[in-house]
Structure 1
Amino acid sequence: MRIFPHSARPCVLAATLFAVSLVTSTPVLAEPGLVQGQQGDTEAQKKGDEPDKLDTENLFGFTEGTDVGKKGEQEILVDTIGRFSKRRAGPGLSGYAAAQPIISYQYDPTDNFSIEPGLWFDAWDSRNVTGVPDKSFGTFNGGSLELKYQFFKRTDQQPFSFALQAEPQYARITPIEGQGADVFSVETRLIADARLVPDRLWAGINLIYDPQVSRLKGSGEVDRSSTLSVSGTLMTKVAGDLFLGPEVRYMRAYEGAFLNRFDGHAVFVGPVLHYQVMEKGFLTLAYSTQVFGHDRDPDFSDRALNLNQFSRHNLRVRFGIEF
């Protein structure tokens, strides 16, 4: 066995440590690059999972969006739907205008669920209209409770979303004739929307089922009806906070609360404007006019439009502030 002299032992020890350090340093030097790559992938994945910054809830006019606010957010809304023009009953001047302002408060207990109670009011003016008494009035009309659940948020990797909305309603006035009654309904919507072009184009579609039971005051007569509707819209950003787009609605009216007997249908088309007035405030305007319709009533089956179950023109004005 060869024995190193005492003076050479430190040199051998140093050489050995140097060799060990070279072997072990190679993977250590490669590891930071691997970690950086993993961090980059993680950051990209997190960025792709970030929710869409645009809130579609009030973007689409008569069509609802899927979004709800973040947990703890609140919102005050003033929503007015106007209906104008129905079939004239006889010679002479004729007019029909009904407006339903709704004041509501929305609270989001979670990131995917919202609760929105609302108070309804009604303003009415009709004269010489088929099936509608001549009257003019304004009154408190009832209330509603909107419950909405969004299944998941839109992201870069998943640019679409779905939601389910149910809104039990009580009204004191029938929606078409304007007669005193106890009116119960539950409007239910299956909602879907998608971001088609990033920061430029959004689409929304609703399937709506609205059963209604009315008990007329005085006579006690009970009327049951229902409506099945599909609405869809495209909204594009034309400026920083201004959005415009077309909207189409197809509506079917039935006798009976469970779509029992088909009464007629109508198609509505019109524009939608949405403007972000401030960071936490918005204004949405939507107008639609009936372009096609058919009424199964023999007295009106030969007419081009359905002005028995539906009006000729609709207007919606919605304003809200978040806090």
Structure 2
Amino acid sequence: MKEMKSLHENNTYELMELPKVLVASMNLEIEQLDVKTAFLHGDLEEEIYMEQPEGFTIKGKEYLVCQLKKSLYGLKQALRQWYKKFDSFMVEHGYDRTAFDHCVFVKKFSDGEFIILLLYVDDMLIVGRDIGKIDKLKKELSKSFEMKDWGLQIRFLAKPVSSPLGSHLKLSSKQSPSSEKEKEEMRNVPYASAVGSLMYAMATVKWILGYLRGGTVSWQSRLQKCVALSTKEVEYIAITEASKELLWMKKFLQELGLQQERYLLYCDSQSAIHLSKNPTFHSRSKHIDVRYHWIRDALEMKLFFLEKIHIDENGSDMMTKPIPIEKLQF
């Protein structure tokens, strides 16, 4: 309760309507379910023995041990065995496991309707146009597993705000409280509690979709695995990494029956774009790992297209740097 109070006092989020994305544009219903004690459903393939649980020892049989028939929480096999159990259930009911994401199952019906089920550990989303077919699947799931039906998925989206830290400001350990009085004052500030709540939410919320100009965004921000000698090389390597994600999403959506005329990858570095499209820059790029030059072959085969985006229109900057709210208002 203390954490939630801090979130409300800091206006961490605001309820708003979901932007028009795939689910909205195709007029799809989306339901959320949770499998209770999911790991206990897995069937074990090995012989595993354990001592009788403390406090539940059967009188007169204290010398006996338990031979496990099902998975238990804490077993290294538990997650895998649960997935295999669920996978066999979906296949038996006519659902196809997608080749590009084994946690997504699809079933197409003769009347043109379809159902997509997304599994994340013990949570799942069911998407489709026919609510009757969705309800039928939910009933079948309830026969085999103990389910908790959350109904229509609850959506929380953040309200755009300016980044709290200006780009000209620098943080230092010297700014930390030094005296006992300053430390005591800091303990009364709910900042740490709010950050802890956000970290908890980040670790427990299973489906996180980013929305940018009405479309879903797959993004990440992490250290590159090699040392670059210039910002151009940094952008060049980032383009290669982004293109791999783009091609995966392209094939995944095509497997779901969704086609698109052109697949665009935007970059705000003109130098990196020229380096990607022009293999004659050998003297400037020969020290870069060969695997990053794969982007040139991909562009030549027209698997996707690479274009320049102006810095004022690059909304993805909000993922990596402090920016004013005006830049987020398109």
- Tell me the TM-score range normalised by the shorter chain: under 0.3
Q: Is the helix fraction higher in 1 or 2? A: 2
TM-score after normalising by structure 1: 0.19
The structure whose RCO (Cα within 8 Å, separation 6+) is larger is 2
